[in-house]
Amino acid sequence: MPEASKPVAITGMGIVCSIACDLPAFGEAIRAGRSGIVRASSSNGVRFGATLQDFEFDTWLEQLKLVAPALFQKARKVLANTTISTRWSVCAATQAVLNAGLKAFEEGTPACGLIVAGSNLAQNYCSKNWQTFSSSGHINPRYAISFWDTNQLGCLSEILSIRGPGVTVGAGAASGNAALFQAFHWLNAGLVERCVVVGAGMEFSELELEGFAVLGAMVSDGLDTEPDQVGRPFDRSHSGFVFGEGSAAVILERSESALHSPVLAEIAGTSLVLDGNHSPAPSADGEVRAMQAALTAANISPDQIGYLNAHGTATPLGDRTECAAIHTLFKDKTRDLLVNSTKSLTGHCFSASGLIELVACVLQLNNGFAHPNRNLEDPIDPDLHFVGRQAETLATDYALSNGFGFGGINSTVVVKGRNNHAGRN
């Protein structure tokens, strides 16, 4: 088990996803339980997706020009010929920088790090380039640069003038939390004073989407079902996840160094543990170990957690396994723990999900609400306190956010809010 670590401050956040393209709109959308799921345009068996329909890159650039001309000039140059995922990442990261205070960021720190969560991010970009090459022999001159996940590091570092350490972190659907784990330890070790952590969106081609459907992990039926009724974590009619698009980013700082901007919340502890099993099947033991390790790192007990943002993908085995893990850790306190799944609204955003769900945790903790589980009508576990189809009051200081990936990768983040809602009715 890890020893207790020092909390790190969250001083900026940004997001672009299917239900909102900025922080205020995202807060309103999750409180209202708004769904971003629509019918997919795929030619295969994939029927639904929480796609980024409302994100217009040129419109975003014009907005950036008004508030941060220097960033606009860099972004326009760097992003002229790159992947959609990179554009989403830069949008989320620049929001986070502006949220933290651009002047403070420009002044810099002795070391600013950059971590991009995700691997195999540009699969649709690669697929389209292969189709063009195989039919015409033509190849994009920048293809050899752009297909690398590390291209996102280069683009982000140039636009944000980051010259400290930087890596991409791949851990499947746990990539976002794994990136937060890495940043947390960089900051605790004093390797950096500040770190930008970006959950990159994944550009799936039809091949990858069909692969998930064939595996039985993704919703692939329901032609007559309305899109906003799809995506049912922890409901007895759950039949798999809905893929989502989006990106989120946070600025993390050592708490004693966060002098330039208000602290929005703190990451009190993190964990990253393996099952020793390569299969996609989840393990309740691994999930329990991840949650307990994060609590130990934060030096708090399960009794202090009032809210859990579940991994909650709506796969039957995944949902049941996570319920079992929650019972094992929280024992007779489960009725005091509010549980929801942001994926019921945004779909499963894979590499970006850990960061999107961290942003959701901070907004809920600081504003005293737990967002709805939109389509939860018949819970698979009546002994857990799932949030219903309407938002509920949330009065707690601490939350857990779970992220679990294929290959037995388990991760948990402990989040401490900044506003105390104790005593709220």
Which residues have CB under 8 Å from 165's CB, separation 6+? 111, 113, 114, 186, 191, 192
- In angstroms, the Cα distances linking 285 to 229, 292, 399 are 32, 11, 20
Q: What are phi and psi of 21, to 5 degrees?
A: -120, 20
Q: Would the pTM of this model clear 0.75, i.e. be above it?
A: yes
What are the angstrom distances between the C-alpha of 325 and each of 35, 280, 372? 27, 17, 22
pLDDT value, residue 260: 65
10 Å Cβ neighbour count for 60?
21
Sheet containing strand 48-50, strands side by side: 38-39, 48-50, 243-244
| Helix pair angle (69-78, 57-67), 10° resolution | 150
Show the tokens assigned to 172.
């499947």
* Residue 24 neighbours by CB distance under 10 Å: 9
How many other CB atoms are there within 10 angstroms of residue 312's CB atom?
Answer: 30
pLDDT number for residue 47: 81
H/E/C letters for each residue in the chain? Answer: CCCCCCCEEEEEEEEEECCECCHHHHHHHHHHCCCCCEECCCCCCCCEEECCCCCCHHHHHHHHHHHCHHHHHHHHHHCCCCCHHHHHHHHHHHHHHHHHCHHHHHHCCCCEEEEEECCCCCHHHHHHHHHHHHHHCCCCCCHHHHCCCHHHHHHHHHHHCCCCCEEEECECECHHHHHHHHHHHHHHCCCCCEEEEEECCCCCCHHHHHHHHHHCCECCCCCCCCHHHCCCCCECCCCCECEECEEEEEEEEEHHHCCCCCCCEEEEEEEEEECCCCCCCCCHHHHHHHHHHHHHHHCCCHHHEEEEECCCCCCHHHHHHHHHHHHHHHHHHHHHCEEECCHHHHCECHHHHHHHHHHHHHHHHHHCEECCCCCCCCECCCCCEECCCCCEECCCCEEEEEEEECCCEEEEEEEEECCCCCCCC
Show the domains of the chain with their CATH numbers: 8-257 (3.40.47.10), 266-417 (3.40.47.10)
Neighbour count for residue 14 (Cβ, 10 Å): 29
**Whole-number pLDDT of residue 225:** 81
Closest CA to 126 of 92, 149, 158: 149
Query: How many angstroms separate the CA atoms of 200 and 361, rounded?
Result: 18
Amino acid identity, position 330: F
Contacts of 264 (CB under 8 A, 6+ apart): 9, 10, 11, 12, 13, 362, 366, 418
Joined together, the tokens standing for residue 223 give 């032609």
β-sheet bridge partners, residue 271: 412
* Burial of residue 119 (number of CB atoms within 10 Å: 0-12, 13-18, 19+): middle
One-letter identity of residue 100: A
Give the per-residue pLDDT at 224. Answer: 62
Q: What whole-number distance in Å separates Cα of residue 123 and Cα of residue 166?
A: 22
d(Cα 276, Cα 347) in Å, to the nearest integer?
28
CA 8, 391, 39, 240: dihedral to nearest 10 degrees? 70
Can you give the pLDDT at residue 422?
44
List the pLDDT tens digit at each of the 425 positions of the chain: 455 689 999 999 999 999 999 999 999 999 999 999 998 876 566 789 999 988 899 999 999 999 999 999 999 999 998 999 999 999 999 999 999 987 656 655 558 999 999 999 999 889 999 999 999 999 988 888 889 999 999 999 999 999 999 999 999 999 999 999 999 999 999 999 999 999 999 999 989 988 988 888 988 666 568 898 999 999 999 999 999 999 999 999 998 776 667 899 999 999 999 999 999 999 999 999 999 999 999 999 999 999 999 999 999 999 999 999 999 999 999 999 999 999 999 999 999 999 999 999 999 999 999 999 999 999 999 999 999 999 999 999 999 999 999 999 999 999 999 865 443 32
On whether the CB atoms of residues 251 and 100 are closer than 8 A, the answer is: yes
